Structure 1
């Protein structure tokens, strides 16, 4: 197991804007998250799902870890993932960010090899991409303390960490016609997938 050989897909959230559980979107006979995991498997030895219920996907073929910080949003899922990850650095993404860009993630890898940053993430002006990023296990105490104080903003949690920000000009070299940072928040957003896949909504 290398220093950053684990990827985690967060499968929580209320999906209130979508109107149904986004983590159960299907493409043909597979969950969208399965296809994401298969692609991530080209770079990572281990791909894990973090969900509020470890049985929600049935026999999916990937480990599903139950979130021990329910109701704490993505920050809670990241903390759960960091605790269970076998790697020092873990790549985190979300179930509603289906456009996995292996070339860009591979570029980010080299900064984990340096082993001096606690976070490797993209920055867009004042904004950050907290769920297309690498996090170090060194952040576990910081996440625990902040969640205990009900501080759930990832930006606030990591603000005193040693962060490697990937600038926009580098991101643009790797990004495709459909951005790797695209989120599926509303039913209308699913139209970006219709050209390639038939979508079935999980029940």
Structure 2
């Protein structure tokens, strides 16, 4: 694991968005395994050096790891926006590193780049890959809770639309030394999962 900024350890909560229905996969994506470890376990291990706590956005208990806890959605059927709103509300830190459970190849180098790029005034720092925004991978401030709440109450559940209403920035990763094509690979279908042997 390279260049971990341990000075930031007291500043961040990790949030793993794991509230999806996994309908295309046909089984719970969070509990799928790579080399004997579930996606949840892999992401918890990646986040732990950076975070004082890890929140799993889910109605189910996903892991027994000591520093991880599950937080259910306050408002059901609101997608990733609802998961973020609920998790940020329960976070013990102002800044929160957010990843999605279906991107198990997120690396420590990527997270280190995110934390190094973050600015105190930002409510959302979003990762971009080849100019494509990935709003479920980034750093979110607890200060964004009120904005999420207002938008969800008004039935605006589109994450990018909500982000545009707060101080935000994006960071492009495609030109970085650590970048590879699998780093934000979404494992959503049975076919995606079968291809994992080629991506390891």
Scaled by the length of structure 1, the TM-score of the pair is 0.83
Q: CA offset at residue 41 of structure 1? A: 0.9
- How many equivalent residue pairs? 192
Pair 35,125 (structure 1): closer, same or farther in 2 beyond 3 Å: closer
1: distance between equivalents of 2:35 and 2:112?
A: 28
2: distance between equivalents of 1:134 and 1:167?
A: 14
Q: Does structure 1 retain, via aligned residues, the 8 Å contact 2:18–2:100?
A: yes
Partner of 2:3: none
Q: Does structure 2 retain, via aligned residues, the 8 Å contact 1:2–1:87?
A: no
Query: Which residues of structure 2 form unaligned runs of 5+?
Result: 1-7
Structure 2 SS opposite 1:42: helix
2: distance between equivalents of 1:95 and 1:5?
A: 18
Partner of 1:201: none
Query: Which residues of structure 1 form unaligned runs of 5+?
Result: 198-203
Q: CA offset at residue 103 of structure 1? A: 1.2
Q: CA offset at residue 195 of structure 1? A: 5.4
Partner of 1:191: 194
Higher relative contact order (CA 8 A, sep 6+): 1
Question: What are the within-5 Å matches in structure 2 for residues 91-130 of structure 1?
Answer: 91-112=97-118, 114-124=119-129, 127-130=132-135
Q: 2:177 matched to 1:173?
A: yes
Partner of 2:139: 134
Q: CA offset at residue 181 of structure 1? A: 1.2
Give the superposed CA RMSD.
2.3
Partner of 1:149: 154
